[in-house]
Amino acid sequence: CFRCQFGFRDDPRSAYRVGHAHSDDLATWARDDDVLTLAAGAAGEWDHEMQAYPSTFECDGRVYLLYNGNQFGRHGFGLATLEP
């Protein structure tokens, strides 16, 4: 999860988004947001301003991602499925 340093509470372009990073040594990280494509919802939807606090889990051989929507989840949370 990442956000801009300033304006993240008031400007949807600066708000939290789900991203992807990897590390071989847990000290040096490289972002690779193209690996994870979770598009924001359309204007007016519960997650169009913010996608925050992601959590992944596996169930019955499928990988899922839970995340909060606008206003830190005040308007709902989402469930995304990893497509092979």
Each of the 84 residues of the chain gets a pLDDT tens digit; together they read 677 878 777 777 788 888 888 899 999 999 887 777 677 778 888 888 888 899 999 999 999 999 998 888 898 999 999 887
Around Cβ 69, how many Cβ atoms within 10 Å?
Answer: 22
The radius of gyration computed from the CA coordinates of the chain, to the nearest angstrom, equals 14
CA–CA dist 18, 34 (Å, integer): 11
Q: Would you state the pLDDT for residue 20?
A: 82
Predicted pLDDT of residue 23? 94
> For position 63, what pLDDT does the model report?
93
Alpha carbon 78 to its chain centroid, in Å, reads: 10
